[in-house]
Structure 1
Amino acid sequence: MCPPNIPPARAVTATADDTEFRTLLDRLSDKATADYYNPFTTFDWPASIPTDELWMSPELLSVHGTELMDELSPTQLQALSRWESVNFYSLNVHGIRELLIEVTRRVHTTGFELPSEFFHHFIGEENDHMWFFATFCLKYAGKIYPDKSLKLPEPPRDPDVENFLVFARILIFEQIVDHYNVQLAADPRLHPTVRHINRLHHQDESRHIAFGCRLVHLLWKRLLDRGLDEAARHELRSYLGRYLTTGIESFYNPAVYRDAGLPDGFALRRRLLTDPARQAAHAKVLHKTTGFLHRIGVLDAHH
């Protein structure tokens, strides 16, 4: 969780009084070293995971809280939980690929001298995460769902704006995923392998989120210090608002509903996305992210 009281900062690069960021980076790098594990030897992958049990907590399913949830048989619920879990890990594979590209482009570049050492931990850990999520999908489902996410139009902008939006997107993605990781890791109804990968991912992501909150705030401060007019602020808010929406909507996959044996997946998706119970669930998933973005002044009262 992003700390509620973040002291003001001036830039990402090292400055005489920016000891707080350096201290955070040193602490997170030390923790990353202490927590290091080899993913290729950490997992004892079972030959299969039983299909007559839950693969995802029912409370996290896209139908939870709706009338459809009560209409599903236990067998249908198990099937939906299986394919929604595979969709969740598939989303992680695609999301991690994108963030790895963006972070790798910035390591040891001007403006990112200070965090580059931590970037190396970040890149290595995210590569490990992509591997174990992909392994789960391929080993137990025989596929990774393709990336169907809507690519948002990229408004023309300068490097400072680009950097801010890149790390804001990464933070949003990580916080959405972590909401699921925490609950899945703690759910005794789930297979030990499911709990294990979510527990390990949360362990690493807690560091990445602490880093991301600090970096996003620094980059936002840089934009404000440089002078950001209201039109530009509105454009950034609108862009991030659309990104939050598309991130949540990616959990409603018609291919999942088809694989789970539910008819007319596209109509089901539309029905679920407008259900008041799901709107409340979305707010819960996004609570930490929207709270942080409001707190630092990126989002206003209308978002």
Structure 2
Amino acid sequence: MRPPNTPPARAVSTTTADDSEFRTLLDRLSDKATADYYNPFTTFDWPSAIPTDALWMSPELLSFHGTELMDELSPAQLQALSRWESINFYSLNVHGIRELLIEVTRRVHTSGFEVPSEFFHHFIGEENDHMWFFATFCLKYAGKIYPDKSVKLPVAPRDPDIENFLVFARILIFEQIVDHYNVQLAADGRLHPTVRHINRLHHQDESRHIAFGCRLVQLLWERLLQDGLDETVRDELRNYLGLYVTTSIESFYNPAVYRDAGLPDGFALRRRLLAHPARQAAHAKVLHKTTGFLNRIGVFDARH
């Protein structure tokens, strides 16, 4: 990737035959963002505590779900695991949002991004709010944010158009994975109202971000194809994004979570869970929309 302060030599222009359609989408999403606007600093009535003898995450979303290990947990262990996996989930959001804010801010009002820059302002403002309320939840109710342990995938310096595509593809993948959890957590009546509230608000905003991201990623990919994307580079991009998907899913298996939940040998647990067939099926469910979209536009193929 190019150095952070180096402007792109040739950003992907969205001023194409699809410009009118893209503008219409952006206008609709911007109007919706304005209509749905809320002040996060006054929206939340943070309780002094959230009971620890209750679920903080839906059992169906836990990393143990579907395995024999889940059946071996006592009620207290299940509650502890749900508490710390929820904190891990919100910590992942804090770190993921920080990265996407850096990348989107770097591109707002730059050559080639004239059309989406107005919507970028909504996007940046909303994501900053999301990072704040996820971090607040972690610090207020757990006293910490889990550190970022994500694997930084090496990418050789390449054409700025390819870099732009990879940036927004990563953002879209991240948002779609998170939204799968948000939807279920927001609807789960077993969870504390504050947990449901933050997930409901996040899904409300992310539904717009995902609609925008799908269209932008498709436009960026189509431009790469129009410019004659080499088949070798095309395979590299597929492999890179496939690895990004894998590492994103694996970040939900945090040995520190298992330690905090009082479960011994977290690293061995992580290896055992990641290899479990039931967890592979769960991953496919989480990634259904992501892999379906990337297959549909031709980024992935039958091998992914």
Indicate whether 1:44 and 2:45 are aligned. Answer: yes
8 Å CA contact retained: 1:103, 1:123: yes
How many percent of aligned residue pairs carry the same amino acid? 89
- Residues in 1 aligned to 2:270 and 2:82: alpha-carbon distance in whole angstroms: 16
Aligned to 1:225: 226
The within-5 A match list for 1:1-303 is: 12-15=13-16, 18-303=19-304
- Residues in 1 aligned to 2:274 and 2:18: alpha-carbon distance in whole angstroms: 47
* Per-residue CA distance 1:70-108 (angstroms, 9 max, x = gap): 000000000000000000000000000000000000000
8 Å CA contact retained: 1:32, 1:204: yes
* Per-residue CA distance 1:125-168 (angstroms, 9 max, x = gap): 00000000000000000000000001111122110000000000
* 1:45 Cα deviation from its structure 2 partner: 0.1
- Residues in 2 aligned to 1:15 and 1:73: alpha-carbon distance in whole angstroms: 58
* 1:195 Cα deviation from its structure 2 partner: 0.0
- Residues in 2 aligned to 1:183 and 1:292: alpha-carbon distance in whole angstroms: 21
TM-score, reference length from structure 2: 0.95
Which secondary structure state, in structure 2, belongs to the residue aligned with residue 288 of structure 1? helix
How many pairs align?
293
> Which amino acid in the other structure matches residue 131 of structure 2?
M
- Residues in 1 aligned to 2:71 and 2:16: alpha-carbon distance in whole angstroms: 58
* Change over 3 Å in CA distance of 1:16–1:61 after alignment to 2: closer
8 Å CA contact retained: 1:22, 1:114: yes
* Per-residue CA distance 1:249-281 (angstroms, 9 max, x = gap): 000000000000000000000000000000000
Aligned to 1:7: none
Which secondary structure state, in structure 1, belongs to the residue aligned with residue 55 of structure 2? coil
4+ runs deviating over 3 angstroms: none
* Per-residue CA distance 1:19-66 (angstroms, 9 max, x = gap): 110000000000000000000000000000000000000000000000
> Which amino acid in the other structure matches residue 294 of structure 1?
N
* Change over 3 Å in CA distance of 1:16–1:217 after alignment to 2: closer
> Which amino acid in the other structure matches residue 249 of structure 1?
E
- Residues in 2 aligned to 1:161 and 1:190: alpha-carbon distance in whole angstroms: 42
Aligned to 2:3: none
> Which amino acid in the other structure matches residue 144 of structure 1?
I
* Change over 3 Å in CA distance of 1:69–1:225 after alignment to 2: same
Which secondary structure state, in structure 2, belongs to the residue aligned with residue 244 of structure 1? helix
8 Å CA contact retained: 1:12, 1:215: no
Which secondary structure state, in structure 2, belongs to the residue aligned with residue 298 of structure 1? coil
> Which amino acid in the other structure matches residue 281 of structure 1?
A
* Change over 3 Å in CA distance of 1:17–1:48 after alignment to 2: closer
- Residues in 1 aligned to 2:48 and 2:130: alpha-carbon distance in whole angstroms: 20
Query: Which consecutive unaligned segments of at least 5 residues does structure 1 have?
Result: 1-10
- Residues in 1 aligned to 2:238 and 2:17: alpha-carbon distance in whole angstroms: 32
* 1:13 Cα deviation from its structure 2 partner: 2.6
* 1:215 Cα deviation from its structure 2 partner: 0.2
- Residues in 2 aligned to 1:163 and 1:230: alpha-carbon distance in whole angstroms: 18
> Which amino acid in the other structure matches residue 131 of structure 1?
W
* Change over 3 Å in CA distance of 1:17–1:138 after alignment to 2: closer
RMSD of Structure 2 on Structure 1 (CA): 0.8
Query: Which consecutive unaligned segments of at least 5 residues does structure 2 have?
Result: 1-11
* Change over 3 Å in CA distance of 1:156–1:16 after alignment to 2: closer
